[in-house]
Chain A
Amino acid sequence: MKEEPTKGVCEESVYDQTFLRVAPLLRNFLIYRTGDAGKAEDLVQDAFLKLWDNCAKVAPEKAKAFVFRVAENLFFNQVEHAKVVLKFNAHQAGISEKSETPQDLMEENEFREKLERAIAALPAGAREVFLLNRVEEMKYREIAELLNISQKAVEKRMSRALLDLRKIHKSL
């Protein structure tokens, strides 16, 4: 693989690979930020169309950062979705532990539902950082890189998220 200038993003296979690798995270990130799955998926499409248009100028290893930036710019001017709707899959309760009673499981279920509502009520910045770390299992360093903020800022937003979550969760 010495000189293969065509192995860029304009190459269908590279483009497809990039999409399959990056789109799921981008889409989840956009859901976390906008609270609107339909809009998030539209934005993913728009961002990747832009990538196709610019495939000659974007190196494959920069493609991820490119689509994240484009997607952010695309929704930057839009008003934030009035009502944040975050829908997670119904969690399948592990029934393996014999000691758990229906009351316990219901309590857990309710705790989780309240948590989901509390997360939806968080400010966007705290919410996206919290979910990228908890659900997407990203390290603070990775989040900082992705959002182009300092690691310190990630720590602050995580603290904010936890403090607010506890308060909101309690009030529900």
Chain B
Amino acid sequence: MEENFNKDDLLGRWLGGSLSEAEERELKARPGFAEYERLAQTAKELQRPAYDAQGALAELKERRKQLGAPAGTGEVKGAKVLRLNPVYWMGAAAAVLLLITAIFLLRPGVDLELMAAAGTTEQADLPDGSSVQLNAVTSFAFNGDEVERVVKLDGEAYFEVKKDGRPFTVNTPRGKVRVLGTSFNVYSREGVMRVSCSTGKVGVSFESSSPDAGQGEADTYTLTPGQSVSIDANGLVSEASIPDNESLDWLNGRSVFNARPLSEVIAELERQYDIEIQLPIGHDLEQLINTGFPHDSLDLALQIALLPLESLKYQRQGEKVTLSPK
């Protein structure tokens, strides 16, 4: 099918507007044309990066003055003004930030301790060859000895565990995850724990939800790829098949919510963007909504995430976002 388009330059002439009607009909009938159309159309909507021409002109005149070149002398070699590339600055800033947010503390019984602050994610290789990625606002500690590998987690993390004979356990306030070698996501916040399996097998057991439910081993759930199990703040356990694109949403720079309470959406927005969101007093935070948002543009995220809440509008002042009735 690709060769259909490779053979000629109809595609190029199409966007140049030089196709005859017959050619245009032929092109549009080809399979895959819709994709080219969408690509071409979307590219048209790209906005050029902003450029301050006036500012650049002022800078240019400054340089001309420094070079002292009279107009039309024709021989000055453009002595280059050294400018610190902003990318380097950002790199340096990021490195400092990493130092601050990823605090490696060596304490007895803890091989590695890591924290991801609001608005950041962290990635680390563990001493056993496994790796972990932390979502915003997450604390993590790893310890390994001869018989086991143990993680303490509060927040959300994605694990890729290397098999080495020792079990790998993730402890959260709500329960534990036990694996040998596999990849999985653990979400553990505010009484909610959710574990999703990407590859291999994952064993999950929750702390008994009520004190009188007796002690001892709670039910153990075994997850295979695509499956997830969760316990909510009331101790209600539910198993589901959640596609990776929802459970691993944050690894792809976005958050997806299917029938999740509004409170969770708001909290995730706050964590991803390090903002504070104020809702109208008495607004139902438990209502379940389907929504999502990208992690790279706050205003876009707010616009998209709040779409289902038709009765609310938002106002943003720096890091403070206020939702109010329309």
Binding site for B on A (CB under 8 A): 10, 16, 19-20, 23-24, 27-28, 31, 37-38, 41-42, 44-46, 48-50, 52-57, 87-93, 95, 100-103, 105-106, 108-112, 115-116, 119, 130-131, 133-136, 139-140, 151, 154-160, 162-163, 165-167, 169
Contacts and interface: CB of A to CB of B under 8 A. Distances in A.
Contact of A166 (B32, B64, B294): B32
Interface residues of B, number: 67
7 contacts: A38-B86, A53-B73, A101-B290, A102-B293, A110-B294, A139-B16, A166-B36
Contact of B46 (A44, A53, A135): A135
Contact of B53 (A23, A56, A135, A162): A23
Given A19-B57, A45-B63, A111-B42, A89 B86 contact: no
Name the residue in B8, B86, B297 with the highest tally of chain A Cβ atoms < 10 Å from its Cβ. B297
A6 B150 CA distance: 80
Given A88-B47, A89-B47, A105-B304, A41 B56 contact: yes
A50 B53 contact: no
The A interface, classified by DSSP as helix, strand, loop or mixed, is helix
Given A19-B60, A135-B46, A55 B71 contact: yes
A109 B294 contact: yes
Contacts of B236: none
B51 A27 contact: yes
Interface stretch (B76-84, B168-176, B192-200): B76-84
B234 interface: no
B172 to A, nearest CB: 28
Contact of B9 (A91, A135, A159): A159
B107 interface: no
Contacts of B256: 106
A111 B48 CA distance: 18
Listed from nearest, the 4 A-B pairs whose CB atoms lie closest are A158-B12, A56-B72, A159-B12, A155-B12
B8 to A, nearest CB: 8
Name the residue in A42, A44, A49, A119 with the highest tally of chain B Cβ atoms < 10 Å from its Cβ. A49
Given A105-B303, A133-B16, A163-B2, 15 more contacts: A19-B57, A23-B51, A28-B49, A46-B80, A49-B64, A53-B75, A90-B297, A100-B307, A101-B308, A102-B290, A102-B308, A112-B42, A136-B48, A151-B16, A155-B13
A140 B16 CA distance: 6
Given A93-B303, A112-B42, A134-B44, A102 B291 contact: yes
B321 to A, nearest CB: 16
Interface of B: 2, 5-6, 8-13, 15-16, 18, 32, 35-36, 38-40, 42-51, 53-54, 56-57, 59-60, 63-64, 67, 69, 71-76, 78, 80-81, 83, 85-87, 254, 256, 290-294, 296-297, 299-300, 303-305, 307-308
A103 B292 contact: yes
Nearest to B5: A163
Contacts of A19: 53, 56-57, 60
Contact of A52 (B11, B54, B64, B294): B64
A44 B32 CA distance: 40
Contact of A109 (B13, B67, B300): B300
Nearest to B88: A38
A38 B85 contact: yes
Contacts of B303: 93, 95, 105
A88 B48 contact: yes
A53 B44 CA distance: 37
A151 B12 CA distance: 11
B269 to A, nearest CB: 12
A145 B125 CA distance: 53
A130 B6 contact: no
Contacts of A130: 43
B78 A50 contact: yes
Given A10-B71, A106-B292, A53 B32 contact: no
B53 to A, nearest CB: 5
Contacts of A49: 60, 63-64, 67, 69, 76, 78
Contacts of A45: 56, 59-60, 63, 78, 81
Given A87-B49, A90-B296, A102-B290, A16 B57 contact: yes
A42 B297 CA distance: 28
